[in-house]
Structure 1
Amino acid sequence: MKKVIYFGNKTSGFQSTKTTLETLEPLLSEIVDIKSYSHKKNKLLRLLHMITGFLRNAYTADYIIIDVYSSTALRYAEIIGYLSRVFNKNYILVLHGGNLPKVYGKLEQRINRLFNGARHIVAPSHYLKSFFESKGFTVQLIPNVIQLEQYPYLKRDKVRPKILALRGFKPTYNPMMTVKAVEILKKRRIFPELRLLANSDEEHYGEVLNYIKDNKLQDCITVLPKQDKLIWIQESKNFDIMVSNPLIDNTPVSLLEGMALGMCVITTNVGGVPFLVKDNEEVLYVESNDSMGLADRISEVVADNILASGLSARGRKKAEEYDWQNVKNKWIKVFS
């Protein structure tokens, strides 16, 4: 069995949501002997932990996997990539973040150096694959993974205005768009019920709660801390619509999770989303930062049982493409 070291962020211990690394590691352990870094919260300690892990294990590793993000975590990838080149180790880059094309425009030389040394470059979306192939790189498409058995399918033949939003209150996820859409629905006397999952340390937390209070929306909006996946999956049967309206995105796993559960998903058509799902077939699109448009789409799916039933069925079928059993062979091919 090949030996692999996977470098990325293992942050669910303090951010509630599992990263790609944390999802993939136990699955990849079926086909390779894998170790991973790092779970450290402090960014400097995380980097030191990665470097130490590399120096301890690189000699015996067949492959190094490196997550590449568009944020400050890009520096981790550059350093581990540099060490891999110094030690003549094969490394695989796994691209994340809908903002990577924009970052490439600013840091082209640095990213070229990292990418040119890679044995394989893996993208989870056609969006990132097509962009970096246009820059001359060979990129393999391996989608993000869900374990379908964790998501019990509930067909939605008739949709209530009961809405779930998982992404939280960071600026990228634009939570005020969702809140204002629900305010519009309330004024239309559609009587929505929105549940938002977010942690109190996220940037827009205070703003959102103040807006809810100032506009007397407490009767239709509930804010809860981010929950373990098994908890919110169990709770999801009480909701029919999942809303996701980020300003930029790549291949959001939460959309796949909502579709796997049979929910009717409404999403902004940003970044890699149009490469992932089809409007009016698997999800409903709305323009970025358009609360009125979001309210209209919610009203539309609540009023149209045929639309709701079709979205629920086709969404589940789409999610099945991302099950581990369908993705595993792509990883086996990379390691072989």
Structure 2
Amino acid sequence: MKVAYFGNKTSAFSGAKTTIETLAPLLNTFLQVSTTSSARNMFRRMLEMIFTFFKNGLCSEWILIDVYSTKAYIYAELISRLSSIFNKKYIIILHGGNLPERHKTNPKSISRVFDHAYAIVAPSPYLKNYFEKCGYRVILIPNPVELENYPFFQRKKIRPKMLGIRGFKSPYNSVMTLDAIRICRERGTEIELLLLGNRDEDDYQRISDFIIKHELEDLVKISQKIPKSEWIKLSVDYDIMVSNPLIDNSPVSIIEGLALGMCIITTDVGGIPDFVSNNNQVLYVKSNDSEDLANKVLYLLENPENAQSLSTNGRVRAEEFDWKNLEPLWKTLLNA
């Protein structure tokens, strides 16, 4: 069975694998999957998608479309429209944590993509519940990980070493993390932090300026994003993973951190509360509240028994996202 999959293959210049780059190879074990696009320029990416639609899409049984909530939403509009014109069955896979807001502000735009889809797949209860309340039928299939690639290291006595892997784009709010490091130092506890991100991302200069202004050079290290296999090896040197998005859905990075046994601190925005539970699998902090983040970091250092529980429970939660558990759901959907 042939499938044409349209999404953002951007790891070559962003340093982080996207959903299409993770899911497509897994689907390719039982389907013949063609994918696009890896172009960095938006106009060129649109041209590549149109070309692939006519080259591979028209002869495929299924069209899969990743749907994001910001600029990349235009690609979903384009390919869903072509699919409708040429009577091709398409399935949309929701990713953007801000899709509910887009629906509220521009429902006609959502309708153009959603109304003619054969199926709508959501990776989180958050998006599933929202769009079901809007009258759509939505299938829940979480973002997958291959658990065998994530060796579990149970954290016991927590070291003051923290890792952030999501980069320097504004929605990820890395300055909040830096401010928490500053607050911890003022309270007498020094926390080492490694941030992985690229220099061309929105907040890079702002982050660099903050580090210099508050004299955090001895505590904070910035590194270019590295391949997943490398940061997984690196993760054993860090016990806390921090994730401060201003809006999010069900980030794979959190699943990965849980699988590795890290203690996760995350903002409780968007789909996070439907995705992982507070004080059991992760610790929540309020959005854009560096004081709250500093409190949670110090809490982990002072309560190793709770940190150990988070590490254990997090791994159990991550096992639910293993590909062997999700593969039957995709087979059922695509063989329907």
Fold conserved (TM > 0.5)? yes
For residues 253 and 58 of structure 1, the distance between their equivalents in structure 2, rounded to whole angstroms, comes to 28
Q: Which residue of 2 aligns with 1:291?
A: 290
Output one character per residue of 1:240-288: Cα deviation in whole Å (capped at 9) or x when no partner: 0000011000011111111100000000000000010000000000000
Output one character per residue of 1:202-255: Cα deviation in whole Å (capped at 9) or x when no partner: 111111111111211111111111111111111100000000011000011111
For residues 26 and 56 of structure 1, the distance between their equivalents in structure 2, rounded to whole angstroms, comes to 20
| Superposition pairs of residues 185-196 of structure 1, within 5 angstroms | 185-196=184-195
Q: Which residue of 2 aligns with 1:114?
A: 113
Shift of 1:198: 1.2
Q: Which residue of 2 aligns with 1:8?
A: 7
Q: Which residue of 1 aligns with 2:325?
A: 326
Q: Which amino acid aligns with 2:52?
A: G
Q: Which residue of 2 aligns with 1:144?
A: 143
Return structure 1 stretches of 4+ with deviation > 6 angstroms: none
SS in 2 for 1:5: strand
Q: Which amino acid aligns with 2:226?
A: Q
Shift of 1:31: 1.7
For residues 74 and 224 of structure 1, the distance between their equivalents in structure 2, rounded to whole angstroms, comes to 30
Shift of 1:157: 1.1
Q: Which residue of 1 aligns with 2:76?
A: 77
Q: Which residue of 2 aligns with 1:20?
A: 19
Shift of 1:110: 1.9
Q: Which amino acid aligns with 1:108?
A: P
| Superposition pairs of residues 86-125 of structure 1, within 5 angstroms | 86-125=85-124
Q: Which residue of 2 aligns with 1:307?
A: 306
For residues 110 and 59 of structure 1, the distance between their equivalents in structure 2, rounded to whole angstroms, comes to 24
Shift of 1:113: 2.1
Q: Which residue of 2 aligns with 1:51?
A: 50
For residues 59 and 283 of structure 1, the distance between their equivalents in structure 2, rounded to whole angstroms, comes to 44
Q: Which residue of 1 aligns with 2:241?
A: 242
Shift of 1:160: 1.1
SS in 2 for 1:129: helix
For residues 139 and 317 of structure 1, the distance between their equivalents in structure 2, rounded to whole angstroms, comes to 26
Residue 218 (structure 2) pairs with residue 219 (structure 1): yes
Shift of 1:318: 0.3
- After TM superposition, the structure 1 stretch with the greater mean CA deviation from structure 2, 189-198 or 316-325, is 189-198
* Percentage of matched positions with identical amino acids: 48
Q: Which amino acid aligns with 1:124?
A: P
Shift of 1:59: 2.9
Q: Which residue of 1 aligns with 2:204?
A: 205
Q: Which amino acid aligns with 1:134?
A: K
Q: Which amino acid aligns with 1:121?
A: I
SS in 2 for 1:309: helix
Residue 274 (structure 2) pairs with residue 275 (structure 1): yes
For residues 93 and 238 of structure 1, the distance between their equivalents in structure 2, rounded to whole angstroms, comes to 38
Output one character per residue of 1:70-105: Cα deviation in whole Å (capped at 9) or x when no partner: 012111111111111111111000001110000111
TM (norm. structure 2) is: 0.98
Output one character per residue of 1:48-83: Cα deviation in whole Å (capped at 9) or x when no partner: 110011111233210000111101211111111111
- After TM superposition, the structure 1 stretch with the greater mean CA deviation from structure 2, 220-229 or 54-63, is 54-63
- After TM superposition, the structure 1 stretch with the greater mean CA deviation from structure 2, 266-275 or 186-195, is 186-195
- After TM superposition, the structure 1 stretch with the greater mean CA deviation from structure 2, 53-62 or 63-72, is 53-62
Q: Which residue of 1 aligns with 2:32?
A: 33
For residues 59 and 80 of structure 1, the distance between their equivalents in structure 2, rounded to whole angstroms, comes to 12
Q: Which residue of 1 aligns with 2:253?
A: 254
TM (norm. structure 1) is: 0.98
Shift of 1:35: 0.4
SS in 1 for 2:56: helix
Q: Which amino acid aligns with 2:180?
A: A
Give unpaired runs (5+ residues) of structure 2.
Answer: none
